[in-house]
Amino acid sequence: MASTFVRSSEPGRRRQLDGGKQLDGSFLQRRLLFLHYKYPFKIAENYQFTFTANKFIVLSSSMASTFVRRLQGKVALITGAANGIGESTARLFTKHGAKVMIADINDELGEKVCKELGPSSASFVHCDITNESDVETAVNTAVAKFGKLDILHNNAGIGGKANPSILEIEKSEFEKIINVNLVGAFLGAKHAARVMIPNRSGNIITTASTCSKIGGGSSHNYVSSKHGVVGLTKNMAVELGKYGIRVNCVSPHVVPTRQSKEFYKMDDEGCRSIYSILKGVYLNPEDVAEAVLFLASDESKFVTGHNLFVDGGITIANSKFCMFE
């Protein structure tokens, strides 16, 4: 199909679209803009559009995927994808054309997400990220199922107990958090890199936290694990860059997921009330997924070794000493 152009400077002009329909240019613009923002992926199945200096451009469905599906043809492995941020990322990735391997210890929820996404888009593998054999199997299963691995989202993690004092944390509890949050990320990256290096391309993204930059927001073991994730990310970015592999992490503020609500003993509103300088906007798992999508897509092709904060500005301000009300 050929592209159809409607000049925004000529709102009264009519243009013929596929099937011989005649539509008023200004109406078409308004309608497509509305549909684009309300149903971005549904409209993409039929038409995609953009602006140039003086033209409103409608592209046929055969051309739309180039512009809308930012991960078309990519294969991703996402750990901790049965719920929360990982689930939101899996759903967003598939909408953008990726095939997704969902890895989690919760088989029931993981299988449920896969069923909703469809067998052609998603598959599930049981994976305890502290078990190297499980991680290796998850990577190998993704390659066997979909033919390759382009993206790893190291998302699985735990918060542990909210122990405020260094005197109260048992050595075993400290090691447990480090083992899941840091060693688990290391194992995922290790085995993803194993299959990415021969292809001289790939993308490794780990979920960190605002606790990777500031202290006092969580327990000592959790904060230590997330600082470690950032250090690991930077070091891997330096080593793997020569193979064309990008390594980044994303650091969200408190997201009202099941895990966060249990850790902080808060409901959705309680989580959203935690200090942020950005008012009137609330952080949801989908917002973090959008940041991961950016880091996974070619839109960030020259970004590596970076820690992307999704925090409403909390890490740039001191809530106890601020001259602005």
The string of pLDDT tens digits covering residues 189-212 is 999 999 999 999 999 999 999 988
- The pLDDT of 49-56, averaged and rounded, is 46
Q: Label residue 290 by pLDDT band (50, 70, 90).
A: very high
The pLDDT assigned to 42 comes to 47
d(CA 81, CA 152): 12
CATH code given to domain 75-316: 3.40.50.720
Tell me the per-residue pLDDT of 219-242, one tens digit each, with 9 for 90 and over: 899 999 999 999 999 999 999 999
Amino acid identity of residue 116, one-letter, is E
Which residues share a beta bridge with 151? Answer: 76, 203
Max Cα-Cα span within the chain: 76
Q: Where in the chain is the domain with CATH 3.40.50.720?
A: 75-316
DSSP 250: E
The pLDDT assigned to 324 comes to 74
Is residue 281's pLDDT more than 50? yes
Is residue 275's pLDDT more than 90? no
d(CA 228, CA 226): 5
261: Cβ contacts below 8 Å, ≥ 6 apart: 267, 268, 270, 271
Are 210 and 162 spatial neighbours (Cβ–Cβ below 8 Å)? no
- The gap from C-alpha 153 to its chain's centroid, in whole angstroms, comes to 7
Residues labelled as active-site residues: 209, 222, 226
Q: What angle do CA 258, 263, 264 make, to 5 degrees?
A: 105
Could you give the C-alpha distances from 67 to 17, 37, 61, 71, 120, in angstroms and in order?
19, 15, 11, 10, 22
d(CA 311, CA 208): 12
The pLDDT assigned to 19 comes to 47
Q: State the helix-helix crossing angle for 220-240 and 184-196, rounded to 10 degrees.
A: 20
The pLDDT assigned to 282 comes to 83
User: Both tokens of residue 267?
Assistant: 């409901």
pTM over 0.95: no
